[in-house]
Amino acid sequence: MSDTSDCIFCKIVAGELPSTEVLSSERTYAFRDINPGAPTHVLVIPREHVVDNAAGLGAEHGDLLAEMIDTAQRVATQEGVAERGFRLVFNVGPDALNSVPHLHLHVLGGRQLGLMG
């Protein structure tokens, strides 16, 4: 796992960096992406660093992952995109342009999304 002391998403959870909250749960936090790729673009993260990206997930993260999905579904409902549809994305590694090494789930919606974006 990368050095977490410099992790921007850990700092966001700690309130050391600003963010626009959308929802939160006991173990997750959802906030608006700073560079939105769609009218709704929210990031759902675990409050604890846990793993850098989805490649590090295992069976032991099942409950946390379920909570992230639940938060993402509630984000979609709250944002008004649940009915028309939305996309949930985990980027992993450089070919996926994964830029922040703290597990995060993108919730994208509010327009018709092409296969790649």
**Positions in 27-56 near ligand 5GP (CB under 6 A):** 31-35, 43
Order the strands of the 28-32 sheet from edge to edge: 21-24, 28-32, 40-46, 105-109, 86-89
Distance, CA of 41 to CA of 13 (rounded, Å): 18
φ and ψ of 64, to 5 deg:
-65, -45
Shortest distance, position 62 Cβ to Zn ion, whole Å = 20
State the residue number with the nearest CB to Zn ion.
Answer: 7
Is 91 a binding residue for ligand 5GP by CB under 6 A? The answer is: yes
Considering only the stretches 26-34, 68-76, 77-85, 109-117, report the one whose residues sit in contact with ligand 5GP under the rule CB under 6 A.
Answer: 26-34
Pick the catalytic residue: 41, 49, 102, 104?
Answer: 104
Shortest distance, position 48 Cβ to ligand 5GP, whole Å = 18
User: Bridge partners of 86?
Assistant: 109
Distance, CA of 25 to CA of 64 (rounded, Å): 11
For the question of residue 61 being annotated catalytic, the response is: no
Is 99 a binding residue for ligand 5GP by CB under 6 A? The answer is: yes
